[in-house]
């Protein structure tokens, strides 16, 4: 603590420069916290996925618009090692406002056996099966759409999705259930049979994906190959992949948001490193005679090095703490008001104690790196030359 007045006076020799450095560090660590928190959210999605569950999709869905015939479900269920197969169809539309994108996952009865970790009770599954137009809605989705049990949920859809020509589906909220780790913005489950019966005859009996539960995760690759070979020569060839592998591939593929989070955080810290290092180097250069005087009154080289490091560390740590707090605030406020079609594919950053710890560690390393060159310069200075002004 006896060094604090010296550090404080050194920082406030140029108040404007000190404030700008703190603001720059704060901005960098706000970005740092958001990017690390976003990366942690993606990692959580991967960790919550399963090795013993397969995703079966059409091999050429974009080019051909193919859907999978629901009759394939029974063929897959007969494969050795498969314990359950569920089919589902995603009904896309919006709720009241075109920006308020809505997606209803219409599922069959087998989803209860495939999605074993779901927060839905057996009674709620029975309730969904017995009410064709009913939906189970998670807390996040219910809060976002301001829905309660018994409310009507009108979902406006694109023309041509209904056989009767209507451009909307009417659902009734049966229950509000706890949220699951994925999807991150909540979910709405509907009845596949009801949605399928409402579609045009040529579209009925098809789904977007099958979820396959396995008895042994070690056989996931073998079963995936078996499924794809079974339908390789059919009109609807498949591509099957374990759920966890699918999430990991999405995390690493192309220029996905998850892939670029850490480079963005690193770029922000690197720019701040240049700024802080330049400021500390200039400050030490201008105060060489002062350091020489301190050396003559008993401050050893180690103490002077500690002073320079503290001068760099104080604004870095202050900026890291303020920036992390600001990042935590930004994860709570804007996500509530941005439209879902803008944020629907980007999960909200998860700012935990681990992210804060990394921010403090990074701030310390930033200060250490910024002060390394000025400390070495200070150690090479001749006290007599510095006192003489040479």
Concatenating the DSSP letter of every residue in 41-77 gives HHHHHHHTS-TTEEEEEESSHHHH---EETTHHHHHH
Tokens standing for residue 72: 């394939």
pLDDT, tens digit, 9 for 90 and up, residues 306-357: 777 777 788 888 888 888 888 877 776 655 555 555 555 556 666 777 778 8
For residue 182, pLDDT over 50 is answered with yes
* pLDDT confidence of residue 75: 94
- Whether 100 and 188 have beta carbons less than 8 Å apart is answered as no
Report the mean per-residue pLDDT for the chain: 79
Is the Cβ–Cβ distance between 110 and 86 less than 8 Å? yes
Residues 233-249 have pLDDT tens digits of 888 899 998 887 776 66
User: Quick one: pLDDT at residue 231?
Assistant: 92
Average of per-residue pLDDT across 249-259: 56
Give me the pLDDT at residue 337, please: 57
How confident is residue 281, by pLDDT bands cut at 50, 70 and 90? confident
* 258 or 352, which is more confident: 352
**Average pLDDT of span 43-63:** 75
| pLDDT score of 378 more than 60 | yes
* Average pLDDT score over residue span 21-44: 77
Question: pLDDT band for position 169 (50/70/90)?
Answer: very high
Q: How confident is the model at residue 274 (pLDDT cuts 50, 70, 90)?
A: confident
Higher pLDDT, 155 or 277: 155
* 130 or 389: which leads in pLDDT: 130
pLDDT at res. 87: 94
Highest mean pLDDT of the ranges 14-23, 182-191, 356-365: 356-365
CB 213 within 8 A of CB 242: no
Whole-number pLDDT of residue 108: 93
Q: How high is the pLDDT of residue 203?
A: 86
Q: Which of 133-147, 256-270, 319-333 has the lowest mean pLDDT?
A: 256-270
* CB-neighbour burial class of residue 253 (10 A; exposed 0-12, middle 13-18, buried 19+): exposed
Q: What is the pLDDT of residue 120?
A: 92
Q: How far apart are CA 173 and CA 179, in angstroms?
A: 15
Residue 235, pLDDT score: 84
> Does 301 score more than 70 pLDDT?
no
Give the burial class of 211: count Cβ atoms within 10 A of its Cβ; 0-12 exposed, 13-18 middle, 19 or more buried: buried
pLDDT range class, residue 8, cuts 50, 70, 90: low
Least confident of 111-120, 232-241, 370-379: 370-379
The percentage of residues in the chain with a pLDDT greater than 70, rounded to a whole number, is 74
> b or e along 344-374 (b: 16 or more beta carbons within 10 Å of the residue's beta carbon)?
eebbbbbbeeebbebbeebbbebbeebbbeb
pLDDT at 125 over 80: yes
Question: What is the pLDDT, as a whole number, of residue 255?
Answer: 46
Please give the pLDDT value at position 174. 95
State the Cα–Cα distance between residues 331 and 333, nearest whole angstrom: 6
> Domain coordinates of the chain in residue numbers?
4-46+256-387, 83-211
User: Given this model, what pLDDT does residue 271 score?
Assistant: 76
């Amino acid at each position: 603590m006896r060094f604090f007045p010296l550090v404080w006076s050194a920082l406030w020799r140029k108040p404007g420069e000190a404030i700008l450095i703190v603001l720059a560090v704060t901005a960098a660590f706000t970005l740092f916290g958001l990017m690390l928190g976003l990366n942690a959210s993606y990692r959580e999605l991967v960790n919550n996925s399963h090795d013993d569950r397969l995703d079966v999709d059409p091999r050429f869905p974009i080019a051909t618009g193919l859907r999978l015939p629901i009759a394939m479900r029974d063929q897959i269920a007969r494969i050795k090692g498969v314990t359950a197969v569920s089919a589902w169809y995603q009904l896309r539309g919006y709720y009241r406002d075109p920006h308020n994108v809505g997606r209803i996952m219409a599922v069959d009865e087998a989803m209860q056996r495939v999605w074993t970790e779901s927060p839905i009770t057996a009674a709620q599954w029975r309730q969904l099966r017995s009410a064709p137009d009913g939906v189970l809605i998670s807390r996040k989705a219910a809060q976002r759409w301001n829905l309660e049990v018994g409310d009507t949920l009108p979902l406006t859809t694109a023309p041509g999705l209904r056989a009767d020509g209507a451009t909307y589906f009417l659902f009734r909220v049966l229950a509000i259930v706890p949220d699951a780790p994925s999807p991150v913005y909540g979910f709405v489950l509907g009845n596949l049979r009801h949605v399928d019966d409402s579609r045009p005859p040529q579209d009925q009996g098809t789904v977007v994906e099958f979820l396959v539960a396995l008895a042994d995760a070690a056989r996931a690759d073998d079963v995936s190959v078996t499924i794809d070979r079974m339908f390789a020569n059919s009109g609807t060839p498949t591509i099957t992949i374990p759920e966890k592998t699918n999430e990991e591939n999405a995390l690493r593929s192309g220029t996905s948001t998850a892939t670029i989070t850490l480079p963005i955080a690193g770029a922000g810290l690197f720019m701040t490193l240049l700024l802080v290092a330049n400021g500390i180097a200039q400050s030490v250069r201008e105060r060489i005679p002062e350091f020489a005087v301190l050396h003559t009154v008993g401050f050893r080289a180690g103490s002077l090095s500690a002073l320079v490091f503290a001068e760099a560390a104080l604004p870095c740590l202050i900026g890291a703490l303020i920036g992390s707090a600001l990042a935590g605030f930004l994860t709570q406020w804007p996500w509530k008001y941005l439209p879902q079609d803008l944020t629907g594919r980007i999960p909200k950053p998860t700012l935990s104690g681990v992210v804060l710890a990394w921010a403090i560690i990074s701030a310390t390393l930033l200060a250490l790196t910024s002060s390394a060159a000025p400390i070495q310069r200070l150690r090479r200075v001749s006290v007599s030359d510095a006192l003489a002004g040479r």
